[in-house]
Amino acid sequence: MAETELQLNETENGFAIIPYPLFKKKVHPKNGRFLRKAEILILGTIFGFSSAKENASCNKTYRTFEENLNLSHGTVARAIKELKEAELIIQDKSRRICSSYRFNNPKKSKKFIVIDFFLNATKFTVRGETEPRYLTKSEIEVLSLIRTHCSNKHGKGFFESSVRGIASILNLCDTTVQKCITTLLHADLIFRPENEKGINNYQRSRFTVNKKLLRKSEKKFQKQASPTAPLPSKEVRAKEQEIENANARAERERYYMRLQNIANSRAKAFQERLEADDTYKRVDTDRRKLEPQIGRAEAFCLPELTELYEKRRKLLAERARRMAELNISEADLQPIWQCPKCSDTGFRPNGRMCDCYPGGRQQP
């Protein structure tokens, strides 16, 4: 089998570099499972950065990993979590970038395969299948293995191996590799001259890649990937964030205003019913008129104070009696708040935001 020894001179964002040992790497040295395909891809992406430059970090966001590798958010999040736990990557928190990772493997391997991101995100037409589809991760690995060897400057321009050989490098089973090769042949992504075809799994076949088709696919991918509009600047993003926050604040205020209106309008309705009653109106007006007189008498210690107190007591009793006759309680005149902690204002007495806002989102 041809040896692949490529020198990496520059860091590029367009591919992952996967050293051979990663395919057989176990999460934990003893009795651990092998790395999953997604973990290998993410590790390879991070390795692509670290290997090119000492101490280089990969600053990809989850989102970029998802897009580059055609993985779901959950898969990326889970893989990164497990890789961190297994100490295969180190998250660099010193740079205040939330996602800055370094590959943590002192063992260097000179053999690796390069997986271009566009292979993950491109649909290919496979003869015999009804619709164009994405390649599976195994198909991408087989294709990339062949491709890496074919593009090796020191190589022969083709890749010679048996199914068993490929299976061994990629840690796949023979059947999977055989299926992958069939698919790749049917997609015209690789070629295998009939006279170079191995007779069984142990015999070597000679493979080449369809450079033209791959180049075309890569160009198409780059065209789609390059954004037509420039990315919003820091200022624009800050402005957008500000608007978003202001909208959220206004939304919150409207929410509490509505709650207050509901509570207040109920109390107001009872108040209005009382005001409409002549007896109540008379008693309550008299009681109100009495208050300033009592205040003055209290301030100057006037002798009629006792008499005024007695008058007020009688009026209050009369008012309470009339209210009872009208079937309205003192509590009915007070608003009933949905949240007693903040009286539906959204703010606690200590000035902090209340947690009663639906969705629990605390807006600044």
Residue 205 has phi, psi (to 5 degrees) of -120, 160
The nearer residue to Zn ion, 89 or 356, going by C-beta atoms, is: 356
The nearer residue to Zn ion, 321 or 341, going by C-beta atoms, is: 341
Q: Tell me the number of residues near Zn ion by CB under 5 A.
A: 5
The nearer residue to Zn ion, 56 or 354, going by C-beta atoms, is: 354
| Buried residues in 119-149 as b, exposed as e (16+ CB within 10 A) | bbbbebebeeeeeeeebebbbbbbbbbbbbb
The nearer residue to Zn ion, 154 or 341, going by C-beta atoms, is: 341
Segment lying near Zn ion (by CB under 5 A), choices 57-65, 209-217, 274-282, 351-359: 351-359
Provide the minimum distance between the beta carbon of 244 and Zn ion in the complex, in angstroms, as a whole number.
Answer: 23
Segment lying near Zn ion (by CB under 5 A), choices 16-24, 180-188, 277-285, 350-358: 350-358
Segment lying near Zn ion (by CB under 5 A), choices 21-29, 36-44, 271-279, 354-362: 354-362
Segment lying near Zn ion (by CB under 5 A), choices 144-152, 153-161, 245-253, 346-354: 346-354
**Whole-angstrom distance, CA of residue 363 vs CA of residue 250:** 10
Binding mask 274-303 for Zn ion (x = CB under 5 A): ------------------------------
Binding mask 313-342 for Zn ion (x = CB under 5 A): --------------------------x-xx
The nearer residue to Zn ion, 34 or 337, going by C-beta atoms, is: 337
Provide the minimum distance between the beta carbon of 336 and Zn ion in the complex, in angstroms, as a whole number.
Answer: 14
The nearer residue to Zn ion, 309 or 337, going by C-beta atoms, is: 337
| C-alpha separations of 22 from 6, 347, 364 in Å | 17, 54, 45
* 8 Å CB contact between 100 and 59: yes
DSSP H helical ranges for the chain:
20-23, 37-52, 62-69, 73-85, 117-120, 137-150, 163-170, 174-186, 211-225, 234-275, 278-300, 305-325
Give the tokens for residue 199: 């007779």
Provide the minimum distance between the beta carbon of 227 and Zn ion in the complex, in angstroms, as a whole number.
Answer: 43
Residue with tokens 């898969």: 75
Provide the minimum distance between the beta carbon of 264 and Zn ion in the complex, in angstroms, as a whole number.
Answer: 16
Out of 2, 206, 354, 363, the residue judged to bind Zn ion by CB under 5 A? 354
- By CB under 5 A, tell whether 356 contacts Zn ion: yes
The nearer residue to Zn ion, 62 or 357, going by C-beta atoms, is: 357
**Whole-angstrom distance, CA of residue 287 vs CA of residue 280:** 10
Provide the minimum distance between the beta carbon of 358 and Zn ion in the complex, in angstroms, as a whole number.
Answer: 11
The nearer residue to Zn ion, 328 or 354, going by C-beta atoms, is: 354
Contact partners, residue 217, CB within 8 Å, separation at least 6 = 118, 119, 122, 124
Provide the minimum distance between the beta carbon of 98 and Zn ion in the complex, in angstroms, as a whole number.
Answer: 32
- By CB under 5 A, tell whether 259 contacts Zn ion: no
Dihedral sign from CA coordinates of 276, 277, 278, 284: negative
The nearer residue to Zn ion, 198 or 335, going by C-beta atoms, is: 335
Give the tokens for residue 10: 């520059």
Give the tokens for residue 293: 């007189």
Provide the minimum distance between the beta carbon of 268 and Zn ion in the complex, in angstroms, as a whole number.
Answer: 22
DSSP state of 136: P
Give the tokens for residue 270: 């009872």
Q: Which residues pair with residue 102 across a beta bridge? A: 90
Binding site for Zn ion (CB under 5 A): 339, 341-342, 354, 356
